[in-house]
A and B are shown apart, each in its own frame.
Chain A
Amino acid sequence: AQSVTQLDSQVPVFEEAPVELRCNYSSSVSVYLFWYVQYPNQGLQLLLKYLSGSTLVKGINGFEAEFNKSQTSFHLRKPSVHISDTAEYFCAVSSRSGTYKYIFGTGTRLKVLA
């Protein structure tokens, strides 16, 4: 079974400041890792994904994330945020074997302040 933990339910940050959204996972099998963003009353959009290879992955809108296998983490970062980055961010895992399903974390609400 897999689980995803996003410890921060809300993260307020001033515009143009850097931000890190934390994600830790637990799994008995190897997983693929994803970050999604959700704007109000909409579905989710893929920000980035880690499948294999380089542990630092870059996504859309200037976001990047680093996979750390020893710490089972996949934290999302952006060096300078904009007001338009205000949204809900979800970390997710998909198992590489066994039952095929995606598991999402509880989400982190990023609020960018002017």
Chain B
Amino acid sequence: GAVVSQHPSWVICKSGTSVKIECRSLDFQATTMFWYRQFPKQSLMLMATSNEGSKATYEQGVEKDKFLINHASLTLSTLTVTSAHPEDSSFYICSATSRDSRGSPLHFGNGTRLTVT
């Protein structure tokens, strides 16, 4: 149980275009979803926290107009990278919690490798 599906697993796009990444909880209701960005051989950098039906909370330094997060239902959150540039190339990972409990572990998607040319 507790499966998180993230797609696409990889995407290549041209500079200036937008890319949408989907994160779905397949067998549980995700009250909270987290979006992370991971640079090569580095840790996960929290970008934003999203709760179903409300606006995402962005971490300091993350441009909310560039990285649009929508958590429209208890099973789906999307991250849209708008007007992508080569420096946005990275590995993006979503995660979700199955209960509104801080002790709950995160369930991760398999990540999306974004390459902007």
- Docked Cα-Cα span, A43 to B34, in Å, equals 13
Query: What DSSP secondary structure best describes chain B's contact surface?
Result: strand
B77 to chain A, nearest CB (A): 14
Which B86-105 residues sit within 8 Å CB-CB of chain A?
91, 93, 95, 102-103, 105
- For A95, what are the chain B residues with a Cβ–Cβ distance below 8 Å? 102
- By the criterion CB–CB under 8 Å, are B43 and A100 in contact? no
Q: Is A55 on the interface with B (CB-CB < 8 A)?
A: no
Q: Which chain A residues lie closer than 8 Å to B109 at the CB level?
A: 43
Interface residues of A in 87-111 (CB under 8 A from B): 90, 92, 94-96, 100-107, 109
- In the assembled complex, B72 has its CB within 8 A of some CB on chain A: no
Chain B's closest residue to A49 (CB) is B105
Q: Give min CB distance, B115 to chain A, whole Å.
A: 13
Let me know if A43 and B111 touch, CB within 8 A. Answer: yes
Our pick among A32, A90, A103, A104 for the contact of B102 (Cβ within 8 Å) is A32
Query: Which range contains the number of B residues in contact with the other chain?
Result: 20 to 34
Interface residues of A in 44-62 (CB under 8 A from B): 44-46, 49, 51
Query: For chain A, which range describes its interface: under 10, 10 to 19, 20 to 34, or 35 or more residues?
Result: 20 to 34
Please, how many angstroms separate the alpha-carbon atoms of A101 and B36 in the complex? 11
Residue A70 at the chain B interface, CB threshold 8 Å: no
Please determine whether A46 and B102 come into contact, CB atoms closer than 8 angstroms: no
Residue pair A107, B49 in contact (C-beta under 8 Å): no
Contact B105 A103, beta carbon cutoff 8 Å:
no
**Which residues of chain A have a CB within 8 Å of any CB of chain B?**
32, 34, 36, 41-46, 49, 51, 90, 92, 94-96, 100-107, 109
**Closest 5 pairs (CB-CB, A-B):** A43-B108, A106-B43, A46-B105, A44-B108, A51-B103
